[in-house]
């Protein structure tokens, strides 16, 4: 769970997850383009690739290779584990 919190600690990684949750299955080129056009982030492909590596290590992103292309998908499973750890319940006011 520590890896998930560390991955979510960075604004760029949260933006990547936002974009993948809106449109899954993007390539590195598509992610870089979206970050530049929609969010004004002009990071190098290598920097974005490193961010994707952190997200993948945390289990928040899974990848699939098809030919020469690598597609990235948002995996909400680790976030569900976090919410499962502290279930919300109505608390009585004291």
Domains located in the chain, CATH noted: 2-83 (1.10.10.10)
What is the rounded average pLDDT of the residues 18-24? 96
Spell out where the chain has E strands.
61-66, 69-74
Global pTM value: 0.85
Summarize pLDDT for 25-56 with one digit per residue, the tens: 999 999 999 999 999 998 999 999 999 999 99
Residue 85 has pLDDT above 90, yes or no: no
Q: Give yes or no for residue 93 having a pLDDT over 80.
A: no
**Residue in the block written with tokens 């979510």:** 8
Looking up tokens 């919190």 gives 5
pLDDT of residue 92: 54
């Amino acid at each position: 769970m520590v890896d998930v919190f560390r991955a979510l600690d960075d604004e760029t990684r949260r933006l990547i997850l936002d974009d993948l949750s809106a449109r899954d299955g993007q390539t590195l080129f598509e992610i870089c383009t979206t970050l530049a056009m929609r969010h004004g982030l002009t990071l190098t492909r290598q920097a974005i690739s490193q961010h994707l590596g952190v997200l993948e290590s945390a289990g928040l992103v899974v990848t699939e290779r098809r030919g020469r292309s690598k597609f990235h998908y948002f995996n909400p499973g680790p976030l569900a584990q976090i919410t499962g750890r502290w279930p919300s319940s109505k608390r009585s006011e004291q």
